[in-house]
Amino acid sequence: MSIVSGKNILLGISAGIAAYKTASLVRAFIKAGAHVKVVMTPASKDFVTPLTLSTLSKNPVHSSFYNEDDENAEWNNHVELGLWADYLIVAPATANTLSKMAHGTCDNLLLATYLSAKCPVYFAPAMDLDMYKHPSTLHTFEKLKSYGNIMIPATSGELASGLVGEGRLAEPEDILAFMEADILGKLPLQGKTILLTAGPTYEAIDPVRFIGNHSSGKMGFEIAKAAANLGAKVILITGPTHQKVSHSLIETIAVISAQDMYEAAHRFFENVDVAILSAAVADYKPKEVASSKIKKEDTTLTLELEKTKDILASLGAIKKQQLLVGFALETNNELEYAKGKLKKKNLDLIVLNSLNDKGAGFKTDTNKVTIIDNKGNMTAYELKSKTEVAKDLVGVIIQKLNA
């Protein structure tokens, strides 16, 4: 999955012949999983139709502050458009539009939206060779970059004038690739690898029965997405669960038993920066596993259980540079047990949640946690969605990594 998946991309189109490429650019963004809206300068509609772009983006295309042909038309709010966008890209960006952006000229909806935008702004110039090389244009590029805008350089090739040289709009797939690389390069977890366990484990009794628990894996999967969205490569070791994730930075490894999870965690642990063990691993497993289905013959069934290997403690015993994070789900003496676990298992952080808190624990979309670090610092959070809890935890981990 692309890093722009789920993001809001506002595409601004100015009046250049290269505007014909924007249909393919919209398709590229949509295929990458982004939500796309389009704002056009009035003159750009001579080069590509709003109907084409609205069909591809599945959103209305805006080119004026209101529809002059409809006396009941609503105002197209440039402020709302600017705030909606996670990223604004002006492509093609003509010399005229770029000059106006650089000097704060505001004579159409696109420029008003640009001046209102709070998000990162990309611009992809497209113009003839002599225009691209003109000192005033080069000055405009530098001025816009000094404002924090990001330039996607034009390429060399055959131009509309018949000349061959620099000034050709970058191809749609290259524009998307440039944005993805730029976004990733600025993310706080770029270059970091995170090992994450999630879900329950199933300990076989016989070929059809097992010992398990009620963990859905949702908390772990939300942490995986939160970390990947900030640039981390995530190795997600998951027990049996209905949860799904599709992200280019998440590698999913499915396991069943505690032993499977133990082996997978140890296989990757040496080369990761952070390990987050959120899985609900069975503490005990049957000492003997029947080779065939146990028949219901007696009124009682006795199973002899033995301890499973403690994955968290075993990683804590061998950790070097890794940041190790554990979870504690408790029902009584919560803080005491969590702090004891933190110290005993050589953790850097522990995330405590209690089954006594309504809305926390297994099979819910919410959680209420307290994060404790190995220096005794403790932060209690209110009940939140697991998505927000995951972001809080990842934020704490980033602070730890940068300390």
Per-residue pLDDT in tens (0 to 9) along the chain, 403 residues: 788 988 999 999 999 999 999 999 999 999 999 999 999 999 999 999 999 999 999 999 998 876 655 555 555 677 889 899 999 999 999 999 999 999 999 999 999 999 999 999 999 999 998 899 999 999 999 999 999 999 999 998 877 777 777 889 999 999 999 999 999 889 999 999 999 999 999 999 999 999 999 999 999 999 999 999 999 999 999 999 999 998 889 999 999 999 999 999 999 999 999 999 999 999 999 999 999 999 888 788 899 999 999 999 999 999 999 999 999 987 778 888 999 999 999 999 999 987 777 767 666 789 999 999 999 899 999 999 999 999 999 999 999 999 8
Count of domains in the chain?
A: 2
Within this chain, do residues 227 and 369 fall inside the same structural domain, yes or no?
yes
Within this chain, do residues 209 and 181 fall inside the same structural domain, yes or no?
no
Within this chain, do residues 155 and 222 fall inside the same structural domain, yes or no?
no
Is residue 3 in a domain? no
CATH of the domain at 323: 3.40.50.10300
**Domain boundaries, position 174:** 8-185
pTM greater than 0.85 (yes/no): no
Within this chain, do residues 146 and 263 fall inside the same structural domain, yes or no?
no
Distance, CA of 65 to CA of 42 (rounded, Å)? 11
Residue 70 has a pLDDT of 52
Within this chain, do residues 268 and 306 fall inside the same structural domain, yes or no?
yes
59, 213, 346, 374: which one is catalytic?
213
| Catalytic residue check, 333 | no
CATH of the domain at 76: 3.40.50.1950
Within this chain, do residues 304 and 214 fall inside the same structural domain, yes or no?
yes
- The last residue of one of the domains, among 136, 160, 185, is 185
Residue 71 has a pLDDT of 54
Is residue 1 in a domain? no
- The last residue of one of the domains, among 165, 185, 205, is 185
Is residue 2 in a domain? no
Within this chain, do residues 329 and 259 fall inside the same structural domain, yes or no?
yes
CA 205 vs. chain centroid, Å, equals: 39
Distance, CA of 294 to CA of 291 (rounded, Å)? 9
Checking 60-63 for CB contacts under 8 A at 24+ apart, the result is 61/37, 62/37, 62/38, 62/109, 63/39, 63/109
Within this chain, do residues 160 and 23 fall inside the same structural domain, yes or no?
yes
